[in-house]
Amino acid sequence: MKIRIKGNSIRVRLSRPEVDQFGAEGYLEERTEFGTNAFTYALQTMPDGTGLSASFAEGKITMHVPASLTREWVTTETVGYNNNMEIGNGDQLFLLLEKDFKCIDAPAYEDQSDNYEHPKTTC
């Protein structure tokens, strides 16, 4: 699972096996260790809701995915979902969840064997 954070946006990408695991278990988590501290990010299926949402507590970002979207996402060719989540004071947090495609021009040392085939053959 990859995460990209820029300003008020969070983008999460999953490989094929990760999508399968998320579909089966409803939860997926990654950690980055910093000595005695860790940054954690997770994806969790929620029984209700219509769009992506997120929370941040105790050093962990959790993106919540309604069960209906999870079922559709893991069983179809749908690439992903996005949502602008209201966070107060007229501000929004943009959330994006995607299947991870193989990069067309990735360095040879980067293993992309578990990623989805890219729909384009050139940039």
In a domain, 51, yes or no: yes
pLDDT of residue 77: 87
Domain that holds residue 39: 2-99
Domain CATH number, residue 87: 3.30.1360
* Residue 106 domain flag: no
Residue 47 within any structural domain of the chain: yes
Q: What is the pLDDT of residue 123?
A: 46
Residue 50, in any domain of the structure: yes
**How many domains, in total, are found in the chain?**
1
Tell me the per-residue pLDDT of 35-56, one tens digit each, with 9 for 90 and over.
Answer: 999 999 999 999 998 899 999 9
DSSP letter string, 80-111: EEEEEEEEETTEEEEEEEEEPBPPTT--TTS-
Average pLDDT of the residues in 49-75: 94
Is 67 a member of any domain? yes
